[in-house]
Amino acid sequence: MKTIRKLLHNRIMTALIVSSLALVYLNGCGFSDETKKVVFTTGFSDDEIFRIEDSVCSIQEIMVYLINTQNGYESTFGAEIWDTQTSDGTVAQQLKESILAKVAQIKAMNLLANDMEIVLEDSEIETARKAAQAYYDTLSEEDIEAMCGVTLEDITRIYSEYALADKLYDYIIRDINPEISDDEARTITVEQIFLKTYDLDASGEKVPYTDTAKNTVYLKAKSIKNQLVEGTSFEELMSEYNEAEESTISFGKGEMEEAYETAAFNLGTDEISDVVEVADGYVIIKCVTTFNREETEYNKVRIVAERKREVFGQQYDAFVDTLTKELNEELWDSITVTSDENVTTNSLWNVYNEYFGE
């Protein structure tokens, strides 16, 4: 079974590596600024974080998601990652928002499943119970306390709701299996010499060069191009001048900005472009290969997955726009990302996948 967890987690992990966290893999869910009909209220019980219609999320559920995700990232990046500043606040703040949106989406997907009369079979419910018992048995007293006294029933509900969200997703995209041609998914590999036309301010934001400074960079790029024409090796100049994080990149159509993509896809193997102006600078591109079979096959899978998400998103977004959401702002604000060496649980989704499959 394709898991919604995998789709969400992969997007969040990618964002975390660049010191930020994506809120969710679809646009119209959670409690983002664009979500309609959000109501802040004080009419909650002590442990209720939010409601979507009559579906309630408890603080125990939120803490299970939060602590498992937090510990998973800390094992790779260390506890200091949470104090890292981004343009949208600290990584800890972004983690909280991503978890809120993630859980809200699962709750909304369960409401949609109920609306479409999609339910778990008895065998699936039993699998959720067994998985919950297997995970709960791994918890220490410190883990349970950190997750606000989470119970076996709470874990069973989390697994059951995820399984139903998976089932809903698979049902909606069941007939979407487009044929993707080699040309549509064609991935090329290039080398680049990139010269930037911006600086970073104290907060890490890009500050464009003045026109005079930008022209100086352009003249430098033209000089590099002239050296290439005279026979200097691309690799030698790339090693000396390239200011991009990567020197060699592979990409398909629609993945780079238009000017870059047009220049690159018009090159033959070993051909070198002229100086190309892009959003953040100037670049000279050398085509390594006009067709990367391995990357093209991977790109086909990515395109199919993206189209399935688009089909699902259309139906999901229309449904979510009809729902009323209520957030217990006071309780939500009281939750903090705090490292505790005695709280180590991070296997929630590993156990889920053992029982429900990837």
pLDDT tens digit sequence for 344-354 = 999 999 999 99
Provide the CATH number for the domain around residue 198: 3.10.50.40
What value does the mean pLDDT take over residues 181-187?
84
pLDDT band at 333 (very low <50, low <70, confident <90, very high): very high
In the predicted structure, residue 14 carries a pLDDT above the cut 50: no
**Kind plus residue range of the DSSP H or E element containing 341:** none
In the predicted structure, residue 36 carries a pLDDT above the cut 70: no
Total count of domains within the chain: 2
Structure tokens at 247: 């020197």
Residue 227 lies in a domain: yes
Query: What pLDDT is recorded for position 358?
Result: 60
Q: What is the pLDDT of residues 129-158, one digit of tens each?
A: 999 999 999 999 999 999 999 999 999 999
- Cα dihedral 315, 321, 322, 327 sign: positive
Shared-domain flag, residues 233 and 108 = no
- Name the one residue in this structure whose structure tokens are 């703040």: 93
Shared-domain flag, residues 150 and 23 = yes
Q: What is the pLDDT of residues 64-87, one digit of tens each?
A: 999 999 999 998 888 888 888 877
Shared-domain flag, residues 253 and 319 = no
Shared-domain flag, residues 30 and 95 = yes
Q: What is the pLDDT of residues 106-135, one digit of tens each?
A: 999 999 999 999 999 999 999 999 999 999
Shared-domain flag, residues 82 and 130 = yes
In the predicted structure, residue 5 carries a pLDDT above the cut 70: no
If one compares 254 and 222, the residue with the highest pLDDT of the two is 222
In the predicted structure, residue 34 carries a pLDDT above the cut 50: no
Environment class of residue 3 by beta-carbon count within 10 Å: exposed (0-12), middle (13-18) or buried (19+)? buried
In the predicted structure, residue 13 carries a pLDDT above the cut 50: no
For the entire predicted model, the pTM comes to: 0.67
Shared-domain flag, residues 13 and 89 = yes
Residue ranges making up the domain that contains 86: 4-177+299-356
Query: What pLDDT is recorded for position 293?
Result: 83
Residue 182 lies in a domain: no
Percent of all residues in the chain with a pLDDT value above 70, rounded to a whole number = 88
Shared-domain flag, residues 13 and 139 = yes
Instruction: Return the number of other C-beta atoms located less than 10 Å from residue 248's C-beta.
Output: 13
- Name the one residue in this structure whose structure tokens are 């990652």: 81
51 neighbors 325 (Cβ within 8 angstroms):
yes
Shared-domain flag, residues 231 and 305 = no
Give the DSSP letter of residue 154: H
- Coil, strand or helix: which one is 58? strand
Query: What pLDDT is recorded for position 106?
Result: 96
Structure tokens at 281: 């600078």
Quick one: how far is CA 12 from the chain centroid? 4
* Domain termination site, one of 290, 320, 335: 290
Query: What pLDDT is recorded for position 344?
Result: 95
Residue 129 lies in a domain: yes
In the predicted structure, residue 327 carries a pLDDT above the cut 80: yes
Residue 345 lies in a domain: yes
